[in-house]
Chain A
């Protein structure tokens, strides 16, 4: 079979048709045709010569019309399109570079957008890290989900120290438990520790007495030495201590041979048996050592009832639920020994026992969980408003960039390409904002320990880890996509011809007519609504906090210095009384000190003694009344130093001594509950069963109520008032009074902090071996107790202010932009006779619409949402009228400021210029 291609080429060449690459293509096509024709002829019976001749004729015909056998070369494109088709991310770098260039060209926009995002993302990330670290992160113990905190209540009343169980219930359950592997208990206290007798200063540290079972319950292992063994810690057993890693390193140089050595704790020798690993912290990071301790039986050896309350934790058996454990504990405790009066002293009620078992993580964070959730919701709103603000800014840019988008579309950019460009620009803003936000969160986190109230649980679990990093990244990406979607959605229908031919200003009456302007208006209204919600919350919390500060506590905390003087156990009572009297006397001599006193406790410090006894009712001598009260020993000047208000009778004086009738002062609640209308002069028998009671000098004399003072808030003003008894230390038999760490109370004429060094040096002069502890003004104690409400109010206030600021800036932006876009309209209106105030009204009307809708939405949302806050409010209704009226006024004021410049600019529009340039 002949090869037609060279033959064709020869013929074409011979006829003067030089073959270029395009024609070679034609040549090939014709030769395939020729070959097909030849094959067909042969198949129809022609011989080879005949077939070749017929095909040659065909070729001759082709050559005759060779000029028509020309395929025009494809036109090369003037601008080669980006090779987007093949590689999915081609052009991405180009978009990125372009995005960065655009942002650098508009540094103002970039700064505002990135800062807003940084604020929103930073605050959110910070709170997420706290929420995750505190509420969600698993506890560091193996199988921690099986750990439950055990709490006892009697008729709904918790122990004097909330979250505790009594020894009766604990022992009854521990010895016959089937739902749990074991239950352990611990006490919370501080003690003076001295490393080696005579070596180094004694330090006051948190040392926790624990039952030996506690460590196995946590599945903890010692780093050095051993743990406590069963039975250790019981009366008569040697005193043992386990050190924390930190204490071991600091005081003992991390030497393993320290095991077996002695340390002095409260002047008593303890043998070191072990050291816990660095990561072991129980119940908190402050704990420096654990001593072996055992829970006392309810009946002491001498037959007296002993009541102890302490904290307890249990490990559930596999498959058991907290509810089953609680039910079992309740039934065991109810069948245990009756603690009667002891229970009354510890719980304020002697009714049936209820034991609850709550997962440990939940129990640790129960106090702060609602607050963290509320703050998370608030920060979520802040993030939304920050994102909305950036979206609104982008939307404004999109309006002015319509031409750019139209040009891009005209030269061949498809819709996906334009959307991608916008999303990339937003991603740059979002990621920059996210990075800045993360830095902000990391910075805030360093400050956390100083920002958060003392005793905030699980703070060491809060960290910027991978989870928090991925959270920040996810938030940044989602927020930036959210910002970019609106502008991208709006550019999806850019009309090329219209956009390119329009003159770049809004049509007449375009305030809210264009879809983009309407969207921006709605976004703005949403931002105003969010600011409104946050401000209402912040205002309520702030006013509640102010009510807490101003609340009548029954004493005057201003200009009072207080300090505890820890005494080692076995410190002679006579020496103690003598030391205290000398100190008080010396203090009174200091100029500027108006009163000096001491007490077993002041508000917010432990130290009261719970007493319970039975007495005949003064109203009806036939009736026996069960009395339970807190008893404090004070010096006579205590009432004046604390400025307690005398309601009836007199306060204690220096004349009340061991030789006179034992006098007591009771508080109003005690008088009302137990003493009737004429409390002064009532005699209270001091004999009879008492728990932790006092013995007077004269074992037979009755107490006489000599006066009634107004109720004094010992802790939170929200806590229920307790009956209280004040007795003079001077009337107590020194040899039979319990040990206690006295608190010195000094009232001064001016700033009490100026007297701290005087106080310290006086103590040092009188007792060089003793050191003051917990030196604080009474006001500081009050403020410390309010640290949580203050924190919540401050955080929410910051969120509210930021949201308001963002809304204000946003409103300014929307209005300025609208004025700029409507310059020609304003010009036309002026030309037609509109006055400056009409033009201003035009701008204000737009603002009013936005703010009005926003405030209405915000107030409605706030009304619905405040019930979340009601648990945090004191002395103020969640629907407080003043707050709900003030917030819109504040928003209106900020809105007015935001309107000012755009309105002035609008009023100054010169119709001639506007129309000429428009």
Chain B
């Protein structure tokens, strides 16, 4: 149970940082984000599309990302998300936290992140 909780927390934290990192590059819509996470994690992180939208909405509520409907010629109307200034700051903090975390894990248990 304890493992599950840790897993859940880790997954939740990692999903957030993943989304922020993806949006740091440019604005994207939900489907694109879900595809990219699956692609880039090579299946190592089990990511369920069901948890994507709650995460997006949570980040939006926190003011870290900002979503808006954009209609492009020849495409259907889609909601695009982009990083806010606060989001960019949060990403930087999270990145350094993860770095520290991995460094500690490495020292203690010899676990390395990719």
| Chain A interface (Cβ < 8 Å from any Cβ of B) | 26, 28-30, 32-33, 35-37, 58, 61-62, 64-65, 68-72
Contacts and interface: CB of A to CB of B under 8 A. Distances in A.
Interface string B32-55: 001000000000000011110110
A69 B30 CA distance: 13
B76 A61 contact: no
A693 to B, nearest CB: 103
B107 interface: no
A500 to B, nearest CB: 26
A29 B53 contact: yes
Contacts of A71: 57, 60-61
Contacts of A68: 51, 53-54, 57
Nearest to A62: B50
A72 B62 CA distance: 10
B101 interface: no
Given A33-B49, A69-B53, 6 more contacts: A32-B78, A33-B31, A33-B34, A37-B31, A65-B54, A68-B53
B113 interface: no
A749 to B, nearest CB: 98
Contacts of A62: 50, 53
B26 interface: no
Contacts of B53: 26, 29-30, 33, 62, 68-69
A62 B52 CA distance: 10
Contacts of A28: 77, 79
Contacts of B54: 65, 68-69
A563 B110 CA distance: 126
A29 B50 contact: no
Contacts of B49: 33, 58, 61
A29 B61 contact: no
Contacts of B51: 65, 68
Contact of B76 (A26, A32, A65, A70): A32
Given A33-B30, A62-B53, A72 B61 contact: yes
A515 to B, nearest CB: 33
7 contacts: A26-B53, A26-B57, A29-B53, A32-B77, A35-B76, A65-B54, A68-B51
Interface of B: 29-31, 34, 48-51, 53-54, 57, 60-61, 76-79
B50 A61 contact: yes
Contact of A58 (B50, B61, B77): B50
Contacts of B50: 58, 61-62, 64-65
Nearest to B53: A69
Contacts of B79: 28-29, 32
Contacts of A58: 49-50
A33 B29 CA distance: 9
Contacts of B78: 32
Nearest to A66: B54
A33 B54 CA distance: 14
A33 B34 CA distance: 10
Majority secondary structure, B binding face: helix
A165 to B, nearest CB: 84
A28 B89 CA distance: 30
Nearest to B52: A33
The 7 closest A-B pairs by CB, nearest first: A68-B54, A61-B50, A36-B31, A71-B57, A33-B31, A29-B79, A72-B61
A70 B31 CA distance: 17
B31 A61 contact: no
Contacts of A37: 31
Contacts of B48: 61
A538 to B, nearest CB: 63
B69 to A, nearest CB: 8
B57 A69 contact: yes
A57 to B, nearest CB: 10
A72 B79 CA distance: 16
A65 B51 CA distance: 8
Contacts of B34: 33
A901 to B, nearest CB: 55
Contacts of B76: 32, 35
A58 to B, nearest CB: 6
B56 to A, nearest CB: 9
Nearest to B77: A32
B57 A70 contact: yes
Contacts of A61: 48-50
A609 B70 CA distance: 102
A281 to B, nearest CB: 74
A37 B29 CA distance: 13
B7 to A, nearest CB: 17
A33 B31 CA distance: 5
A69 B48 CA distance: 14
B110 to A, nearest CB: 36
A737 to B, nearest CB: 106
A771 B50 CA distance: 119
From B31, B34, B60, residue with most partner A Cβ within 10 Å: B31
Contacts of A72: 57, 61
Nearest to B32: A36
A37 B50 CA distance: 13
Counting chain A CB atoms within 10 Å of each CB, the highest count among B53, B61, B79 belongs to B53
A68 B51 CA distance: 9
A28 B76 CA distance: 11
A75 to B, nearest CB: 11
B57 A32 contact: no
Contacts of A30: 53
Nearest to B49: A58
Nearest to A68: B54
A343 B54 CA distance: 113
A366 B61 CA distance: 80
A820 to B, nearest CB: 45
A33 B57 CA distance: 15
Nearest to A72: B61
Contacts of B61: 71-72
A65 B78 CA distance: 22
Contacts of A29: 30, 53, 79
B34 to A, nearest CB: 8
A27 to B, nearest CB: 11
A451 B110 CA distance: 103
A32 B60 contact: no
Q: Which among A30, A36, A58, A62 has the greatest number of chain B C-beta atoms within 10 A?
A: A36
Contacts of A36: 31
Nearest to A58: B49
A813 B14 CA distance: 66
A36 B78 CA distance: 11
A32 B33 CA distance: 13
B99 to A, nearest CB: 29
Nearest to A61: B50
Contacts of B30: 29, 32-33
B39 to A, nearest CB: 12
A743 to B, nearest CB: 94
Contacts of B77: 28, 32
A23 to B, nearest CB: 11
A58 B49 CA distance: 8
A26 B34 CA distance: 16
> Which of A26, A35, A69, A71 has the most chain B CB atoms inside 10 A of its CB?
A71
A65 B50 CA distance: 8
Contacts of A64: 50
Residue with the greatest number of chain B CB neighbours at <10 A, chosen from A29, A37, A65, A68:
A29
Q: Which of B49, B50, B61 has the most CB of A within 10 A?
A: B50
A37 B57 CA distance: 20
Nearest to B34: A33
